[in-house]
Amino acid sequence: MSGELVIDVHGLNKYFGAKHVVRDLSLQVRRGEIFGFLGPNGSGKTTSIRLLCGLLKSDSGSGTCLGYDVIRESPAIKREVGYMTQRFSLWEDLSIRENLEFIARMYGMKSMKEAVAGAIERLGLETRQNQLAGALSGGWKQRLALAACMLHQPKLLLLDEPTAGVDPKARRDFWEEIHALAANGITVLVSTHYMDEAERCHRLAYIAYGRLLVSGTVEEVVASQALTGFVVTGPDLAGLARALRGASGVDQVTPFGNTLHVTGRDAAALAATVAKLQSEGAHRWAPMRPGLEDVFIGLMGGLEDDVTP
């Protein structure tokens, strides 16, 4: 991964009517980097990604993408971007090959047959190339969609929750392909709700209601929240969870399978609360290192959707 900045934007804002959808977004993304965007539904993730690439014009702010001005030169950016939408958006009554050939014609590609053959081979679509897209499983539709958005050899790839509804093996195979693309210098912006996918990104950002709350590597994001935590096992964890909520030093209580994760930012207060409960002997408490999911659950705590301008 090089140090070359592919995206460098400052103070981007976007309004839809009275709603301030993106607020003062500043971000840098390097060439060959997989950059993940996380946040609740309606938080502005997709809008932010589109602003970063000039696919949507910001109301204020400045910056560049692929060396082009994101406000004045968006047509030039679009020619070098591949965009994979959350919903499958190709033609279900066409075969895999027919879909790719049609898209290649839309791009006006001179070497259409070679490009389509290369995409089919690269994404492992040979055995199904004559199958109708509408008859494909979620994983195969995903491969086809990725092949389609890579046909024109873009330098930047936008993926909007690309693995929603796809089985675990297909998700793993997809991410192996994404890392191979990044290793070849393709820059990838991806929005996701899956914490394990976020951990596959080189860096990530968490956006809530139009605001960038935190960004960096997984380790940097976790460290920035200064959380301490305990994992608890034992009887009646639901009752314990009710008792813990609001206790001194406790910010979040979250069930994880047959355990509770108890986290907080005031280490001394949390330790005192835990020591008191440990003395009662009903549950087993063990220190834990909070992970990405604990951080994002904590970030969501107390946030409210701000619809004011």
Q: Which residues contact 280 (CB under 8 A, 6 or more apart)?
A: none
Tens place of pLDDT per residue across the chain (309 aa): 557 999 999 999 999 999 999 999 999 999 999 999 998 877 888 899 888 888 889 999 999 999 999 999 999 998 899 988 777 778 889 999 999 999 898 888 888 888 899 888 888 888 889 989 888 888 888 888 888 988 888 999 999 888 777 778 888 888 998 999 999 999 999 998 888 888 999 999 999 888 999 999 999 999 998 899 999 999 999 999 998 988 999 998 989 889 999 999 999 999 999 998 888 878 999 999 988 888 888 787 655 544 443
The C-alpha atoms of residue 129 and residue 147 are separated, in whole angstroms, by 12
Q: Can you list the positions of beta strands (E) in the chain? A: 5-16, 19-30, 34-38, 60-65, 68-69, 81-84, 156-160, 187-191, 203-208, 211-216, 228-233, 252-256, 259-264, 284-288
Give the CATH architecture of domain 226-289.
2-Layer Sandwich (3.30)
The residue extents of the domains of the chain are 5-222, 226-289
Q: Do domains 5-222 and 226-289 have the same CATH topology?
A: no
Sheet holding 252-256, edge to edge: 252-256, 259-264, 228-233, 284-288
What is the value of pTM for the model shown?
Answer: 0.86
The C-alpha atoms of residue 133 and residue 23 are separated, in whole angstroms, by 39
One of 3.40.50.20, 3.40.630.30, 3.40.50.300, 3.50.50.60 is the CATH number of 5-222, namely 3.40.50.300
